[in-house]
Amino acid sequence: MKIDLKNDSKVFIRPYEERDFYKIQDLNKEEGWTDLVQNNLNTKKVWENSNISFVVETKSEELIGYIRGHTDKHVSLFICEING
């Protein structure tokens, strides 16, 4: 999905792919979220098992944000992580 920002730039939201994980960890480092970075294997497992997982990237495919969560697909949605 393409989104036009106020500054006339464009970003794209798409489903998470395994190849995105290390870029996500780079964003986590920038935010100082050391638990997610240090527990690399567990963090990767939660991404693999989340039923809500999207990344935000620029036109040049630079990953600049993400959202990860869980839902029962009927009533509830729990956002676990959002960065961007």
pLDDT surpasses 80 at 84: no
Average pLDDT over residues 56-65: 91
Taking a C-beta distance cutoff of 8 angstroms, is the pair 65, 71 a contact? no
pLDDT in tens, 12-54: 999 999 999 999 999 999 999 999 999 999 999 999 999 999 9
Q: Is 50 exposed, middle or buried (0-12, 13-18, 19+ CB in 10 A)?
A: middle
Taking a C-beta distance cutoff of 8 angstroms, is the pair 51, 33 a contact? no
Taking a C-beta distance cutoff of 8 angstroms, is the pair 47, 39 a contact? no
Please tell me the pTM assigned to this model. Answer: 0.84
Query: Residue ranges per domain, the chain?
Result: 2-83
